Amino acid sequence: MAIAEPPVRPRTTLHEGPFVTEPFFDFRNEENARRMRSAIAKVRAQLGHEYDLIIGGKRIKTTDKIKSLNPSQPSQIIGTHQKAGKEHVEPAIKAALAAFESWSRTTVEERTSLVFRVGDLLRQRKMEFMAWLVFEVSKNWAEADADVSETIDFCEFYAREALRFSQAQTPIQLPGEHDSLLYIPLGVGAVIPPWNFPCAIMAGMTLASIVSGNTVILKPSSDSPTIAAKFVELLEEAGMPEGVVNFCPGAGASFGDAVVAHAKTRFIAFTGSREVGLHINKAAATQAPGQIWIKRAILEMGGKDAIIVDADCDIDSAVEGVAQSAFGFQGQKCSACSRAIVDERIYDKFLEQLKGRVEKIQVGDPAENANMGAVINEGSMKTILGYIEQGKKDGRLITGGERAPGEGYFIRPTVFADIPPKSKLEQEEIFGPVLAVIKARGFDHALEIANDTEFGLTGAVYTKSRDKIDRAIQEFHVGNLYINRKCTGAMVGAHPFGGFNMSGTDSKSGGPDYLYLFTQAKSVGEKI
């Protein structure tokens, strides 16, 4: 539901009752647009500041720096950050271990109160956080709204879940005993989030960790450390004790690998590429000297997501769903539609309508609320352009296929038709605004193509057939399946998110079993 501004709820009842997702802004409302422009101006005046490492509450500067740049205007520095190295691993582990001694023994009410306060503060400054997303990762206003709204949802949902977990009971009570089941924290965790949802995923993994009683070493992506720094400031303002979250931007190959391998690291929560996820999984499975537990790896990795467009579908809805799924946030979502598998009976008509829809997408600076901003960095841009050149060899270019004007890393939304199954564009995750359209002989063939990939994250089917819907539910092998709607935009509570195969450990963030991953169950039987 689109409204003029966030709802005002009485403070005494804000966190009571059932969980409700945070509403989005309607920017067709001029007052909302005015407020967003004001937030952008406010954040623009704060660009270029320097941020410290935070280890055990202490601010630390380093010789090496990380400069976060605006993808839409790479000459503009969003923030300068200290770069954690191997020498910071031991201090960070020690600070987190020391904080764990007390934080793990706080009441669940104290921990959830902190997380609820974070949500309250974030709700008050929602547009300001949205503006940081506009500048640091080139999200348009609606995408930034969805990212920050999901962060608020995680605050509300995980706090409620922690309270529910604290009331767990054994299925039966034996005569003469008092039997109980406690979900206790694990220990020190490494939280390694991506840049594409730099607020929601970063905060979600952190919040799930700390509301469960764990402490964290947070290593944000080098492409989006400023948003993480702003979130840590919010945690501190809400009253988070020193050492509960230690803010350590740094290189994955040095600082990140060393934290993952450390004997005292109890779990790793990671979202990112298949290659890095598998590397972390292997490192976590190797026992370090002095390590007394099996490390838990919570991994959300890539996708090669498909939308099946059946011959009997509402073609207008299918075109819109494919366009939004493929090109929302420049296709830089693990859930993005990278493949449209279209029945041959409507293939040409679908392509014609899709071409017209995609060519309406405006590419430009998201500060001005263009439909599509820039891809995240120069390296990513070059990789995507390489895939586009491959697509010109393997298929038929329908639209796009080149850079768009501007200083930033802008690429036109690109659609290729007649891409053959098993080809590079059909199999590999591109993570950019490139869509491969594949012709299917029928529904059986479409399912075969959709499932013939090492990934299994999201997918969608557009059809009016109940039989085909039921078959997709049984046979389309993805963690998140959508029927007659786009394959992006999972909502906390409604669509627990996580995938199969090389898409990760199916962690189901935003779902009722997510906090199990950050806790361990202790059974107590007391004779009375």
Residue 334 annotated as catalytic = yes
Of 22, 150, 300, 426, which one is the catalytic site residue? 300
CA dist 405 and 411 (Å) reads: 8
Those residues whose C-beta lies under 8 Å from the C-beta of residue 492, and which sit 6 or more positions away, are: 19, 21, 150, 153, 154, 157, 510
pLDDT reading at 486 higher than 60: yes
CA dist 115 and 237 (Å) reads: 11
CA dist 65 and 62 (Å) reads: 7
Average pLDDT, the chain: 96
CA dist 138 and 25 (Å) reads: 18
CA distance between the termini of the chain: 53
pLDDT reading at 6 higher than 60: no
The per-residue pLDDT for 8 is 38
Which domains occur in the chain, in start order? 52-301+507-526 (3.40.605.10), 305-493 (3.40.309.10)
pLDDT in tens, 404-457: 999 999 999 999 999 999 999 999 999 999 999 999 999 999 999 999 999 999
The per-residue pLDDT for 216 is 98
Find out whether 416 and 425 touch, Cβ atoms under 8 Å: yes
Secondary structure element (H or E) that encloses residue 73, with its range: strand 73-82
Those residues whose C-beta lies under 8 Å from the C-beta of residue 156, and which sit 6 or more positions away, are: 15, 19, 20, 22, 116, 119
**What are the phi and psi torsion angles at 522 (to 5°)?**
-115, 120
pLDDT in tens, 251-276: 888 899 999 999 999 999 999 999 99
Find out whether 504 and 300 touch, Cβ atoms under 8 Å: yes
Across residues 161-171, what is the average pLDDT? 96
pLDDT in tens, 54-89: 999 999 999 999 999 999 999 999 999 999 999 999
Of 155, 248, 313, 334, which one is the catalytic site residue? 334
Percentage with pLDDT > 70 across the chain: 97
Find out whether 138 and 376 touch, Cβ atoms under 8 Å: yes
Those residues whose C-beta lies under 8 Å from the C-beta of residue 133, and which sit 6 or more positions away, are: 139, 143, 144, 147, 148, 198, 199, 227
Residue 237 annotated as catalytic = no
pTM: 0.96
pLDDT reading at 104 higher than 60: yes
Across residues 454-472, what is the average pLDDT? 98
- The pair of structure tokens assigned to 220 is 């944000």
The residue type found at 37 is R
The per-residue pLDDT for 14 is 62
pLDDT reading at 364 higher than 70: yes
Confidence of residue 16 (pLDDT cuts 50, 70, 90): confident
How many other CB atoms are found less than 10 A from the CB of residue 285?
A: 10
Quote the distance between the C-alpha of residue 225 and its chain's center.
15
**What are the phi and psi torsion angles at 215 (to 5°)?**
-115, 165
